[in-house]
Chain A
């Protein structure tokens, strides 16, 4: 597609339920990133994929969070047993090259985000 596509754009879920967020990166981009922005906070890195593998999972806040990427394209971020503090905008981004993470002209392009509210 022309840009990074995320779904759902908005999700309201009950505390304790599982949630899946989907990201469709720009076609041909090998690197995919998940970030989170909580209310009033900056962007928080969650996980990075190079192809289908995730060399950096350091940002995942707890073991309730997991992500996978299949076919070097679509990625799914899953949050199990959601808590109210999980409420945030979850942003997916992609870049052409892997491993350089935005440096030296390898710009990262963001989707519009999935707004998650846990009630």
Chain B
């Protein structure tokens, strides 16, 4: 039972345009969501997070949107840069449990 899903395994975007990475979850008990970025041969690094009491959190070029009714969150990167090319993992948390990760989306930003 995959509780956190990233349905797009890959995404290709032109440099300077917006990248939108999507994530869906099934468990309404999740109350905190995070995005991690992973480069090849490195561990995932924390990117941005959002609490379920908010619907938007912005940090520089990165914005995460949360739609609780739809159990959907998205990560927007604008403008996209070639250095943003990586695998992005969505993760969700519910009290007393571990983080549950999605399968990841590989973003490729073309110069």
Main DSSP-derived SS at the A contact region:
loop
* A-B contacts, CB under 8 A, total: 67
Please name the residue on chain A nearest to B5 by beta carbon.
A42
**Contacts A101-B93, A103-B95: A111 and B43 contacting too (C-beta < 8 A)?**
yes
Cα distance A93–B100 in the bound complex, in angstroms: 14
Contact residue among B6, B42, B96, B103 (Cβ-Cβ distance under 8 Å from A99): B96
**Contacts A42-B103, A102-B34, A104-B51: A112 and B98 contacting too (C-beta < 8 A)?**
no
Contacts of B43 in A (CB 8 A): 4, 6, 91, 93, 110-113
Please name the residue on chain B nearest to A9 by beta carbon.
B41
Cα distance A110–B102 in the bound complex, in angstroms: 16
For residue B62, give the distance in angstroms from its CB to the closest CB of chain A: 15
For residue B90, give the distance in angstroms from its CB to the closest CB of chain A: 10
Contacts of B101 in A (CB 8 A): 35, 42-45
Is B99 a contact of A102 with CB atoms below 8 Å?
Answer: yes
**Contacts A102-B93, A113-B42: A107 and B49 contacting too (C-beta < 8 A)?**
yes
Cα distance A43–B92 in the bound complex, in angstroms: 12
Q: Mark A21-44, 1 if CB is under 8 A from B, else 0.
A: 000000000000101000001111
Cα distance A16–B93 in the bound complex, in angstroms: 36
Contacts of B41 in A (CB 8 A): 112-113, 115
Please name the residue on chain B nearest to A93 by beta carbon.
B43
Please name the residue on chain A nearest to B91 by beta carbon.
A102
Cα distance A108–B100 in the bound complex, in angstroms: 12
Is B103 a contact of A41 with CB atoms below 8 Å?
Answer: yes
Is A101 a contact of B31 with CB atoms below 8 Å?
Answer: no
Query: Which chain B residues numbered 32 to 56 have a C-beta less than 8 Å away from chain A?
Result: 32, 34, 36, 41-46, 49, 51
A20 interface hit (Cβ, 8 Å): no
B43, B89, B95, most chain A CB atoms within 10 A = B43
Cα distance A51–B41 in the bound complex, in angstroms: 28
Interface residues of B (CB under 8 A from A): 6, 31-32, 34, 36, 41-46, 49, 51, 89, 91, 93-104
Can you list 5 contacts pairing A with B, beta carbon distance less than 8 Å? A100-B93, A102-B93, A107-B49, A111-B43, A115-B41
